[in-house]
Structure 1
Amino acid sequence: MRLVSTAALAAALFVMPAAAQTGANTAAKPTAVEADAYVAAVEKEAADLSVPAQQTAWVNATYITDDTDALAARSGAELTEKAVQWAKGAARFNGVSGVSFDTRRKLDLLKNGVGLPAPTTPGAATELATLTTRMSSSYGKGKGTLDGKPINGSDIEAAMGTSRDPAKLKEMWVSWNDNVGAPMRKDYTRMTAISNAGAQELGFA
């Protein structure tokens, strides 16, 4: 059973170069044409970056080791930083008239689609990605017990779907919680604090 990090499985994100136009015109209000160009550039960058990001996530999900965790965390940190930049870039076009329905929808997705944003504080994205990767891997390689014998998460799910023995169901649930769920509490609490700070930075209360 594998809970893949939202950060690692997110689409690769990048801010289009035109988001910072020449200094002579930075104060000018952006236009609908620029919004179209922004979205098109981000989509191209995302398509280019998403393949290696998903390859890294797949390898980590399939072969959970310290090395693949490190790769996934590094990729996740980069993608989180890009996602936040992308969302902030999309916010430049708030209130711009003449933006097409499709472009506005995509801009809204960029602003609202960052599931676990990190604040721009140095190191925040790295810490967040490390936490989510560690929890995901702990979940993926964790074990409970059934009849006193170790059993992995996927087998627990299958057994819980068919067993009607209260004692066995309790054993599986309690052992999984004690071995996997409860030890994540500290990491989960810290992850929530970081992502809440990131959400506030993006304008969410």
Structure 2
Amino acid sequence: MLVETDDVLGLQAALESTPVAGVVELVPAARTLLVRFDPADTDVATLTRSLASVSTVDVVAEASRTVTVPVRYDGADLADVAAASGLSVPEVVARHNAATYVVSFCGFAPGFAYLAGLDPALHLPRRSTPRTRVPTGSVAIAGEYSAIYPRVSPGGWHLLGHADTPVWDVERTPPNLLTPGTRVRFEAA
């Protein structure tokens, strides 16, 4: 069942703190929460009524951890981002560093975390022409999000710099360093 909400992480926290019968997995996205359920334990009508009664008002999410990521601000699009935003390169770097981001959801590729909290002055649409190859560790922005590319892949985000922090490692448990709810701080290396 897909639930649309303006408070995805709040709803997820509420459902994790007070589980609903039959729910087996919660998968957050930008504005929806996928609620996987076992039809042997509940039906759609019952689950819908249960979810409608969930409130995020008094939910205190578990204190999430903060990950600090050093960044070399040497990205191919840094000057273009500065020009498009009407800021200087040092101002772009300062604004990108000033925010505390929260992982809203993961997608696109394993380990690709969409980080909410980007300064509105840096909200830019995706590049008109995506790259066929974005290097691992590229720190980028697009729309209202920032991200770190977990591995080499195509991509259309604006590249601000590079981080050596591995955000996806299959030998780690969990393999994704940046899970939903994790706070992220960038600092200029």
Q: TM-score scaled to structure 1, two decimals?
A: 0.23
**Higher CA-based Rg:** 1
**Which one has a larger percent helix, Structure 1 or Structure 2?**
1
Q: TM-score, normalised by structure 2?
A: 0.24
Structure that is richer in strand per residue: 2
Larger RCO of the pair (alpha carbons < 8 Å, separation 6+): 1
